[in-house]
Amino acid sequence: MHTLYDSDTYSVTHMLANAVATDATPDVSLDRTEPVRIVPTLARHGFEIVDKRANKEVYLDGSWAELFQQHISAWQQNTPTQEEVEDTLEQYAELAQNPVLVH
């Protein structure tokens, strides 16, 4: 999980579903302990966009995440103003249906 953007209005977090967890498990046949890779069955990444004003969030995955990744790549090529970033995030935030809950 990486926070990509955080302002008074929006927060964007990149969720990495492809992250590999390791657990130390004993291997009886080799009489040693080696890390075991646990790979998710649906290895997908996504982006969480939180609209702090509306107190709502949207999670982008699949084709939506790919489209948003294209915006990020374009921003890396041509550094946008904060206003340009927030205008783009506002368009995605219109998809937000889930209220932000703190556990």
In whole angstroms, what separates CA 82 from the centre of its chain?
20
> Do residues 99 and 55 touch, judged by C-beta distance below 8 A?
yes
What are the pLDDT digits (tens) for 29-68?
A: 555 566 666 555 555 789 999 999 999 999 999 899 999 9
- Domain of 94, in residue numbers: 2-99
pTM over 0.85: no
> Measuring CA to CA, which residue among 93, 77, 83, 81 is closest to residue 12?
93
Domain total of the chain? 1
Helix (H, G, I), strand (E, B) or coil at 93: helix
pLDDT of residue 69: 92
Q: Is the pLDDT of residue 85 over 80?
A: yes
